[in-house]
């Protein structure tokens, strides 16, 4: 029944004893389902439990509680080498004294695959990572990017059902990393293998993934498509971690249907569309992306708040304005510079109106 899922984590907990003698839940009741053929990312800050989750799927760690299923089969008690998965690490650790062919074919040799078949599969794997004909090189005769591709070929050569990648591009410089992101994505599409990709880089996750699990402190806060994570973050943490967000803290003063009236003390009243129900007097935070706000271009039927400009930053494609309101609120507004030689919409010290529609914010309570 569960065959449509490549991997399932069912209420998985992993507790470690810390050197100080305490107990730490590195992964705390995580449930998620990764679909077959999906490029799925675990995204979150350092220490949130990404690597521990991946190591449990690989079998290098056993869950304290809960189950891990691969294609519907409970693998919780199965050894790593018997699971249909393979892992690519950030430290890709190729054997320096071996050729590329020997490095990639090592696992196959251990399994007793014949030399002829080995060499055919190694060439095929090298084609996949776009390094055909590199069989006889030694790792030190390759660039960092090429070494990472060899590590990838080594992981792909025995045709795993699921490939686990733990920050595999972390050691590369920015330009190469961006290139490899696109290549990895298209490689994944070509081979159709499920990829579970760990990263702390939100832009990387947005660029590459079909779906993302945003993690914090051992918990998966939201599992969704990139655009849903960005447009409809479930919590303040998610809104803050992915992209930039303005948070305007307020108090709910009423709700008519889906329209919620929120008082931003000292700053003004705003009206926000939400599918949730709020209680009068409830604390709530209006979360709005800077590009969804405008400066000095009032929106009729929208929210228009008057404040004072205290920062103007020209960055070529956009100009960013920092605006402070009468209450303790402030906002950063991003305006695109769409015409040549476009003048700033306001200068530092000016009074200005910040506007946003009723549908662009998220009204969040946690």
Ligand X SMILES: Nc1ncnc2c1ncn2[C@@H]1O[C@H](COP(=O)(O)OP(=O)(O)O)[C@@H](O)[C@H]1O
Where on the chain is the footprint of ligand X (CB under 6 A)?
Answer: 16, 18, 24, 26, 44, 46-52
Minimal distance in Å, beta carbon 45 to ligand X? 7
The pair phi, psi for residue 305, each rounded to 5°, is: -115, 135
Minimal distance in Å, beta carbon 68 to ligand X? 15
**Which residue lies nearer to ligand X by CB, 49 or 139?**
49
**Which residue lies nearer to ligand X by CB, 56 or 305?**
56
Instruction: For the segment 38-57, give every residue that binds Mg ion (CB under 5 A).
Output: 51
What is the bridge-based pairing of β-strands 162-166 and 283-288?
unpaired
Task: Show Cβ contacts of residue 201 under 8 Å, excluding neighbours closer than 6 positions.
Answer: 43
Cβ atoms of 286 and 248 closer than 8 Å: yes
**Which residue lies nearer to ligand X by CB, 15 or 308?**
15
C-alpha Rg value of the chain to the nearest Å: 25
Minimal distance in Å, beta carbon 310 to ligand X? 36
User: Does 103 engage in binding with Mg ion (CB under 5 A)?
Assistant: no
Minimal distance in Å, beta carbon 235 to ligand X? 18
Positive or negative, the Cα torsion across 53, 59, 62, 66?
A: positive
Per partner kind, with CB cut-offs from 5 to 8 A, the member of ligand X, Mg ion, none near residue 180 is none
Per partner kind, with CB cut-offs from 5 to 8 A, the member of Mg ion, ligand X, none near residue 238 is none
What is the bridge-based pairing of β-strands 330-336 and 259-264?
unpaired
User: What is the distance between the alpha carbons of residues 307 and 325, in angstroms, rounded to a whole number?
Assistant: 4
Minimal distance in Å, beta carbon 242 to ligand X? 16
Per partner kind, with CB cut-offs from 5 to 8 A, the member of Mg ion, ligand X, none near residue 16 is ligand X
In the numeric block, which tokens belong to residue 98?
Answer: 């071996």
Task: Show Cβ contacts of residue 175 under 8 Å, excluding neighbours closer than 6 positions.
Answer: none
**Which residue lies nearer to ligand X by CB, 51 or 360?**
51
Closest C-alpha to 360, from 329, 325, 334: 334
**Which residue lies nearer to Mg ion by CB, 86 or 103?**
86
User: Does 274 engage in binding with Mg ion (CB under 5 A)?
Assistant: no
Residues of this chain that interact with Mg ion (CB under 5 A) are 51
């Amino acid at each position: 029944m569960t065959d449509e899922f490549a991997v399932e984590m069912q209420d998985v907990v992993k507790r470690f004893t810390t050197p100080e003698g305490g107990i730490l839940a590195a992964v705390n009741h995580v449930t998620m389902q990764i679909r077959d053929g999906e490029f799925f990312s675990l995204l979150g800050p350092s220490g949130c439990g990404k690597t521990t989750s991946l190591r449990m799927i690989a079998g290098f760690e056993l869950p304290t509680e809960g189950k891990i299923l691969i294609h519907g089969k409970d693998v919780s008690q199965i050894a790593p080498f018997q699971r249909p998965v393979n892992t690519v690490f950030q430290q890709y650790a190729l054997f320096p004294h071996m050729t590329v062919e020997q490095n990639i074919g090592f696992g196959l040799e251990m399994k007793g695959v014949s030399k002829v078949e080995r060499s055919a599969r190694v060439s095929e794997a090298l084609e996949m990572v776009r390094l055909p004909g590199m069989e006889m090189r030694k790792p030190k005769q390759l660039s960092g990017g090429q070494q990472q591709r060899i590590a990838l070929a080594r992981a792909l050569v025995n045709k795993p059902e699921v490939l686990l990648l733990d920050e595999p591009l972390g050691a590369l410089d920015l330009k190469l990393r961006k290139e490899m992101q696109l290549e990895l994505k298209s490689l994944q599409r070509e081979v159709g293998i499920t990829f579970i990709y760990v990263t702390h880089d939100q832009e990387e996750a947005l660029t590459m993934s079909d779906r993302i699990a945003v993690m914090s402190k051992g918990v998966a806060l939201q599992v969704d498509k990139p655009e849903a994570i960005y447009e409809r973050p479930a919590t303040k943490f998610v809104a803050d971690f992915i992209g930039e967000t303005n948070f305007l803290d307020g108090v709910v003063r009423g709700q008519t249907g889906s329209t919620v009236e929120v008082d931003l003390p000292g700053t003004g009243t705003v009206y926000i569309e939400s599918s949730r129900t709020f209680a009068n007097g409830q604390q709530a935070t209006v979360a709005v992306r800077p590009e969804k706000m405008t400066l000095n271009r009032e929106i009729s039927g929208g929210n228009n708040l008057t404040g004072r400009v205290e920062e103007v930053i020209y960055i070529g494609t956009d100009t960013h304005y920092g605006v402070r309101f009468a209450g303790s609120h402030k906002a950063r507004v991003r305006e695109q510079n769409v015409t040549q030689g476009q003048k700033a919409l306001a200068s530092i010290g000016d009074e200005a109106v910040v506007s946003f529609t009723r549908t662009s914010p998220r009204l969040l309570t946690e």
